[in-house]
Amino acid sequence: MVSSDMEEVLDGVRVILVTVPASAHRDLARAMAPYLQAGQIIILNPGRTLGAVEFQHVLRENGAPPGLTVAETETFIFASRRVEPGVSRINRVKRKVHLAALPAYRTASVLRQVRHVLPQFVAAANVLETGLSNIGAIFHPAPTLLNAGWIESASQFDYYHQGITRGVARALERVDEERLAIAESYRVRAVPARRWLAAVYGTRADDLYTAIQRTRAYGGLKSPASLEHRYVFEDVPMSLVPLADLARAAGRSAPVMESLITIACALTGVDWVKKGRTLSSVGLGGMGVEEIIDFVKVGLRKVPHPQTRTTSSWNGETVASDAEAFMGPDAP
């Protein structure tokens, strides 16, 4: 079925695969919320960073029914490019793509539903692992921003094999080191970008530059035609911004990520932090590392309820007290 009618598309289906850029997730969640049904599974392929958390938060804010499961993958399953409107070229299907549900205990049931169609999907520990394994955050914004002059001169080039020089690759390694440090803070076993290339594409090398040059699936993939491209409008606000915010919450610095965000804002004239995913914007504002970890594992978060009224059992007197409730993934 091909349709632009959201209600028609969602009615009665078990699994919904969302493959739009992460910058469209908020709007899509708002549009889907009135038509979703309990028991349905939504998979963001990919979620980028904090994608499932944001999607679930927006669904809840817009009255979606309880009993939904939102999951995300760490990366898009295809290495592909749009050739022209309505036509894409798939260079390679990735060997293995990690998936996690929110909360994490639902991951196994999601995989059972899709394994016969998408056997490449395998379990990740939780959505922090998928979000912190977001290799797009390494390979997309930095090469685009560091090649801005070449891109704006309207001279397309091989994005990976020409755009990622040894110097650019060194910058990518720095961003990757920051990502791995953030992952360590949240007890996530993230894989370095070079090892990810080996696992996904079978490419092996002693350094990231050589590994990228040896990755045949990247051959012929052209650079963006302008800076108005998802490598900026998706990967900066939906990858670098939440990664930098996770770093701050953990008391870590991420100076190269922060610099790339600043450069992206300066080059485009857009405040990508304001437009991006922050802990506050996805409903995790004020949480510490342990609270965030608990939330993605079991779906519970503390919500303060000042001046909750309680009644004593011995004299019937009502007294005011401060309390905290725990909200789960299906809470209103």
| Contact predicate 40/13, CB 8 Å | yes
299 versus 100: which is more confidently predicted?
100
Q: Rg (Cα) of the chain, in Å, rounded?
A: 21
Q: Where would I find the H helices in the chain?
A: 6-10, 25-32, 51-61, 107-114, 127-132, 136-139, 141-146, 148-152, 166-185, 193-201, 208-214, 230-233, 235, 241-249, 255-268, 272-275, 289-298
Residue 79 has pLDDT above 70, yes or no: no
Tokens matching residue 177: 């080191």
Residue 317 has pLDDT above 60, yes or no: no
Q: What is the pTM of this model?
A: 0.85
Q: Give the model's pLDDT for residue 328.
A: 54
Helix (H, G, I), strand (E, B) or coil at 87: strand
Sorted by where each starts, the structural domains of the chain and their CATH numbers stand as 6-275 (3.40.50.720), 300-332 (no CATH)
Helix (H, G, I), strand (E, B) or coil at 79: strand
Is residue 176 annotated as part of the catalytic site, yes or no?
A: no
Q: Give the model's pLDDT for residue 315.
A: 32
pLDDT digits (tens, 9 = 90+) for 237-279: 999 999 999 999 999 999 999 999 999 999 999 999 999 999 9
- Which phi and psi (to 5°) does residue 80 adopt? -150, 170
Nearest to 50 by CA among 246, 255, 191, 290: 246
Is residue 294 annotated as part of the catalytic site, yes or no?
A: no
Residue 301 has pLDDT above 70, yes or no: no
Question: Out of 98, 140, 176, 245, which one is annotated catalytic?
Answer: 140
Helix (H, G, I), strand (E, B) or coil at 103: coil
4 versus 302: which is more confidently predicted?
4
Mean per-residue pLDDT, 173-186: 97
Q: Give the model's pLDDT for residue 88.
A: 79
Residue 85 has pLDDT above 90, yes or no: no
pLDDT digits (tens, 9 = 90+) for 125-136: 999 999 999 999
**For residues 205 and 303, what is the distance between their CA atoms, to the nearest angstrom?**
48
Q: Give the model's pLDDT for residue 324.
A: 38
Tokens matching residue 301: 């978060």
| Contact predicate 289/182, CB 8 Å | no
pLDDT band at 40; cut points 50, 70, 90: very high
pLDDT band at 309; cut points 50, 70, 90: very low
Q: Give the model's pLDDT for residue 75.
A: 86
Q: Give the model's pLDDT for residue 8.
A: 93
- Cis peptide upstream of residue 255 (ω within 30 degrees of 0): no
154 versus 312: which is more confidently predicted?
154
pLDDT band at 321; cut points 50, 70, 90: very low
Q: What percent of the chain is helix, strand and coil (3-state, nearest 5)?
A: 45, 20, 40
Question: Out of 235, 271, 294, 305, which one is annotated catalytic?
Answer: 235
Mean per-residue pLDDT, 142-165: 94
pLDDT digits (tens, 9 = 90+) for 97-114: 899 999 999 999 999 999
